[in-house]
Amino acid sequence: MKYRNLGAAGVKVSSLCLGGMTFGEADEKSFMHKVGSDEATAHAVLDRALAAGINFIDTADVYGQDGLSERVLGNWLVARGTRDRIVLATKFRFTMGEGANRSGASRYRITKCCEDSLRRLKTDRIDLYQIHMQDITVPEDETLRALDDLVSAGKVQYIGCSNYAAYRLMNSLWLSKTNSWAKFVTLQAQYSLIVRDLEREHIPLCRTEGLGILPWSPLAGGFLTGKFERGKPPAGDARLGAKPERFARYDSERNWKVLDAVRAVASEVGSTPAAVSLAWLLAKPQVTSVIFGARTIAQLEQNLAGAELELAARHVEILDQASTFELGYPYEFIKNTQASW
């Protein structure tokens, strides 16, 4: 396992980050219903991940009913005594509980969410505390000031954001700089060979400002594992197969061409489509760590190969070309004028 700095921060994290979305079997009220693993299996996956060198774990308060993922992870940290070996990340923002303040990023709610996560995780600090999505109903300076207070109190070590528009992220960084507040060190966002929209604005911004990218859904919901075939319906036991409308998002000629290229590279390097897809992301300079989920140890093992695979420059170029996408205006105009885009 290789380790990289968490954006511009000094702490080092594994190049693969184990996502906790599937920790615990959620009930029918949760959006994670039927896609999680029981606590014993989740703990076994965590054990194997740690043994493989993964020291970075990401979860969120909203994963599972009533913070189920955080509770399962907290039980593991205590049972195994592994807290000081893990860089622990969680998120807040979406709906938890009842009442008028059950969601959002106000000072009132951030303080409560942090205390609740600390209790569920059974720890005295969160290493990376992330806002799960920008909140346009709350001034960004209120959110940042509350997060800065948590850093000053020692309850949070670093802060990050997820699912932010580029303009909002730039404004946030400016506010932090001019007020001497803690600033975001990472951006967690959807990024894969299928979804490359970040390359328009976010990646240049993160490169300039020193933020590390934490891609989520690096295998495009399982599409890039290579277990799907063009013109054939997906198996019902696959996550994409369980919801035909989700599979329809990926069922396009462009995406099948991407998968063809991934399979060709995988065959050439003697690896798997999943490992190649992860390795492509890890070859991107601004990527700090790639977040992946695993319901079983077998799924974990399949993804671990991506951390060890180093693609040649020509393989990265093949995949870049196969997954090229329309930049739109003004990006195409700029690209056609400046070759260094």
Backbone phi, then psi, for 283, in 5-degree steps?
-80, -10
User: Where do the H-state alpha helices sit in 210-252?
Assistant: 239-242, 244-250
The alpha carbon of 254 is separated from its chain's Cα centroid by a whole number of angstroms, namely 24
Tokens 């000094």 sit on residue: 10
Strand order in the sheet with 184-190: 212-216, 184-190, 156-162, 126-131, 87-92, 56-58, 16-19, 290-292
Calculate ∠ Cα 278-283-286, nearest 5°. 105
Among 316, 248, 254, 255, residue whose Cα is nearest residue 280: 316
Do 132 and 93 meet the contact criterion of CB atoms below 8 Å apart? yes
CB atoms within 10 A of CB 254: 13
Strands 126-131, 156-162: pairing is parallel
Tokens 């933020």 sit on residue: 211
Indicate which residue of 3, 63, 108, 164 is catalytic: 63
User: Where do the H-state alpha helices sit in 53-93?
Assistant: 68-80
Active site residue 63: yes
Please state whether 72 falls in left (phi above 0), alpha (psi between -120 and 50) or beta: alpha
Q: Give the residue numbers annotated as catalytic, written as ranges.
A: 63
